[in-house]
Amino acid sequence: MLAASRFINAMRLPSPSESVYGTRSRRRVGNCIHHHLSNWLLHACLLILPFVIGAQAQENPRIRVQSNAVLVPTLVKDAQGHLVYGLTQKDFAIEDDGVEQNIHLDDSAESEPASVVVAIQTGRRAWREFVRMRGVGPMLNSVLDQAQSQIALVEFDSHASLVEDFTADQTRIDEDLKNLQPGDNGAAIRDAIDFCVHLLEQQPVERQRVLLLVSENRDHGSHAASTDQVVAAIGDSNTVVYALAFSPSLSQVLDTERGSNRDEAYWDAPPDIIGTLLMARNAMKKNVTKAVAEMTGGEYEMFTSRKAFEHHLVDFNNHLHGRYMLSFAPQKPHPGLHQIRVRLKQPSPGTSILSRITYWAFGGA
């Protein structure tokens, strides 16, 4: 109240009876009033700013919502590679940075709808793989068989672009996939993953979030997302990545043997030493696609033929709702990357587990 009274007094103009000063004096008074007015306006703004910010925070909450629960979708296979069903919460144990956690198993997860982003590389030599991907559209029908499930389509070369937003209309997805066009000479895999994860983060939290990534193994030309940013985005999301990968150098060798790339090969030629050298060189460099799939508890498969591609896509459909939806609530986690380990308390010989191996915790405000 005192500040308000002073503010009003500072703004009061002299009355006619008080205006006995000459022109120069009146200018000094005007300058003085202007000076006081500026100071008190500044103080008033500083006083009300916290209340304005608080009101805006209530009206416009942050889009990104942090949850205490860490979801850990887990796939269990027996020694023959078949899915293991019928396990209960008591059969699992989860460790967060080596500390065992209290866990929860959502028994209704199998019936929950899924939001699936299909991200297909179109840059570099990917267009040679289009013929092997010919059946991807119809084979995604089973995803949409689950009530309220949706699919979005992303294409990428040097840049990622949303071709079809989340939809349950299989016809639109089929048409888009039939009209894939060659891209430029880039394969910005990190940028594409980051783009897709942000799309999935806008989906309701109760939905399964899945990225089906069809690309080569090595990144070529990512500039929007660093490796650390991709690790943080994946670790903070509940996205499972299923990767179907191809090797451009291996495809070139096989296509030459099949005689399906006459435009880039010449016949009666010596063995393709360049393609073989490329395979050896690429094998020594980081496999981004595989690393991301393993980080999220997803699966990574290579394909060199249409038959292999369709076989792996069948596995993707079968495994989509075959995961145990485990979760835990970490207590005061340290900021940064955490290591997760999921195990069976009494595993059978040959049993294997696929689950996310990291999550990202943000520091408190």
Run means of pLDDT, 10 residues per run, the chain, 365 residues: 46 43 42 50 46 39 52 93 94 95 86 92 92 82 87 97 96 91 95 96 90 93 86 84 82 48 48 45 63 88 85 85 91 88 96 91 65
Q: Is the dihedral of CA 260, 261, 267, 273 positive or negative?
A: negative
Phi, psi (degrees; rounded to nearest 5) at 291: -60, -40
- Separation between Cα atoms, residue 202 and residue 57, nearest integer Å: 19
- Separation between Cα atoms, residue 271 and residue 263, nearest integer Å: 17
Q: What is the CA radius of gyration of the chain?
A: 30
Helical residues (DSSP H) of the chain, grouped into ranges:
2-11, 23-59, 136-139, 141-145, 170-178, 189-201, 227-236, 248-258, 273-283, 288-296, 306-320
Beta bridge partners of 40: none
| Fold of the CATH domain 109-324 | Rossmann fold (3.40.50)
pLDDT at 237: 82
Tell me the whole-structure pTM to 2 decimals: 0.69
pLDDT at 307: 86
pLDDT at 280: 41
pLDDT at 263: 53
- Separation between Cα atoms, residue 228 and residue 253, nearest integer Å: 34
Question: Which distant-in-sequence residues (6+ apart) come within 8 Å of 202 by Cβ?
Answer: 63
pLDDT at 259: 52
Question: Which distant-in-sequence residues (6+ apart) come within 8 Å of 121 by Cβ?
Answer: 155, 156, 157, 183, 187, 189, 192, 214, 215, 216
**N- to C-terminal Cα distance for the chain?**
32
The residues spanned by each domain of the chain are 2-59, 109-324
Q: Do residues 327 and 300 lie in contact, with contact meaning Cβ atoms separated by under 8 Å?
A: no
pLDDT at 138: 82
- Separation between Cα atoms, residue 155 and residue 162, nearest integer Å: 7
Question: Which distant-in-sequence residues (6+ apart) come within 8 Å of 193 by Cβ?
Answer: 119, 211, 213, 225, 230, 233, 234, 241, 292
